[in-house]
Amino acid sequence: MAQVVKRAYKYRFYPTPGQADVLARTFGCVRLVYNKALEDRTRAYRVEGRRVSYGESSAALTAWKRTQELAFLNEVSSVPLQQALRHLQAGFVNFFTKRAGFPTFKSRKKSRLSAEYTRSAFRWRDGTLTLAKMDGPLDIVWSRPLPEGAEPSTVTVSKDAAGRWFVSILVEEKITPLAPAENVVGVDARITSLLTLSRPIDGVTDAHGTVANPRHEPAERRRLARAQRALARKGKGSANRVKARRRVARVYARITDRRRDFLHKVTTRLVRENQVIAVEDLTIRTMVKNRTLARAISDASWRELRSMLEYKARWYGREVVVVDRWFPFSKLCSACGTLAESMPLSVREWVCACGAVHDRDVNAARNILAAGLAER
């Protein structure tokens, strides 16, 4: 049975100087409104022990717009400002239900520059997108088509630390689950390579079952480390520091973009070809402190990989099982169940007393699969 899912399509775009100006001001107003409303809510909560509703925040916004010093809020579309209040409301709901910490202020330097437009604040016609208070349609690079007949419901414009502009278009899409698959697979997260599977998949892994990191990545990482060292040498507040920071952001953005494409390819194949996908809960493993750059990148991609697996599995009628207890999976013989005594990281291949010859990671992936299947 087909289901309707909301799906975001993200593209780069190149604003005209006029559009860039309106957007920069919109980002500033979004941050200001968010922070002001947060301040009010924080005071109400901490001082009066009272919860502020979305309606109250919205009424406050209307009042701010009438004052002389905040009249400039009227110059940008009101929808992104309202959306900022909605996000803040969601943040407080999460806080009150203990799903998240107390909402924090958006800082000028570190917060994400973005503005969200709902249906009433943009026009979508003949494949062109025009935002409210803008002189013309956005010049979008359509790197892949929107689904046929798609009607955007929300449009989010953002600018990253590398200075690139993006528009993310949310559409409703009909997705038909795939026919059941016979295979099942276990996934072992790695640091040096990306991951290892319990069995090789053609075109995704090598002959053993290992998925290597995207090519070019070691060189990019070296470039990133170099850019970070250069940034550390620049004096605080200097113009060169701004440039150096942007250089770091650009290299990092390149790495994460390429990774994301790669993760999409891998997860699509895994979900297409397997009915059950067993993964390890990595929050357990990250207790082992390892603050290297490689580790940070690999943790980030592992989180992203897992979330991709989970939503794609939901779309296509597959099952992701998370093995959430710690176990020395690489030391357990997946053939006979004997636990090997010690297994230094340098051991890549070992022979069990039962005669089974194991690739360390493939063996771990097989054990994760078995544990996942047992947990269902």
- Name the residues annotated as catalytic: 188, 280, 361
Single residue of 185, 187, 352, 368 touching Zn ion by CB under 5 A:
352
Q: Please, which residue, 134 or 352, has the CB nearer to Zn ion?
A: 352
Q: Please, which residue, 188 or 220, has the CB nearer to Zn ion?
A: 188
Rounded least distance, CB 184 to Zn ion, Å: 21
Q: Alpha carbon of 128 to those of 20, 134, 151, 307: distances in Å?
A: 18, 13, 12, 31
Tell me, what amino acid is at 19? Q
Q: Please, which residue, 213 or 334, has the CB nearer to Zn ion?
A: 334
Q: Does 150 bind Zn ion (CB under 5 A)?
A: no
Q: Which stretch binds Zn ion (CB under 5 A): 148-156, 215-223, 241-249, 326-334?
A: 326-334
Q: Copy the structure tokens of residue 156.
A: 């989010």
Q: Please, which residue, 191 or 356, has the CB nearer to Zn ion?
A: 356
Separation CA 351–CA 353 (nearest Å): 7
Return the H-helix or E-strand segment holding 44. Answer: helix 17-48
Question: Contact, 100 vs 94, CB < 8 A?
Answer: yes
Number of residues that bind Zn ion (CB under 5 A): 7
Q: Which residue has the tokens 């449009």?
A: 155
Residue 146 DSSP class: P
Q: Which residue has the tokens 């860039």?
A: 20
Q: Which stretch binds Zn ion (CB under 5 A): 20-28, 66-74, 271-279, 331-339?
A: 331-339
Q: Does 232 bind Zn ion (CB under 5 A)?
A: no
DSSP string, 228-282: HHHHHHSPTT-HHHHHHHHHHHHHHHHHHHHHHHHHHHHHHHHHHHEEEEEEE-H
Rounded least distance, CB 185 to Zn ion, Å: 21
Q: Does 354 bind Zn ion (CB under 5 A)?
A: yes
Q: Which stretch binds Zn ion (CB under 5 A): 45-53, 160-168, 342-350, 354-362?
A: 354-362
Q: Does 333 bind Zn ion (CB under 5 A)?
A: yes
Q: Which stretch binds Zn ion (CB under 5 A): 202-210, 228-236, 270-278, 327-335?
A: 327-335
Q: Copy the structure tokens of residue 143.
A: 């790197």
Separation CA 132–CA 120 (nearest Å): 8
Question: Contact, 281 vs 299, CB < 8 A?
Answer: no
Q: Does 335 bind Zn ion (CB under 5 A)?
A: yes
Single residue of 201, 356, 359, 373 touching Zn ion by CB under 5 A:
356
Binding track over 254-283 against Zn ion, x by CB under 5 A = ------------------------------
Phi, psi (rounded to 5 degrees) for 7: -135, 135
Single residue of 300, 336, 351, 374 touching Zn ion by CB under 5 A:
336
Separation CA 196–CA 190 (nearest Å): 7
Rounded least distance, CB 367 to Zn ion, Å: 12
Tell me, what amino acid is at 217? E
Task: List residues binding Zn ion (CB under 5 A).
Answer: 333, 335-336, 338, 352, 354, 356
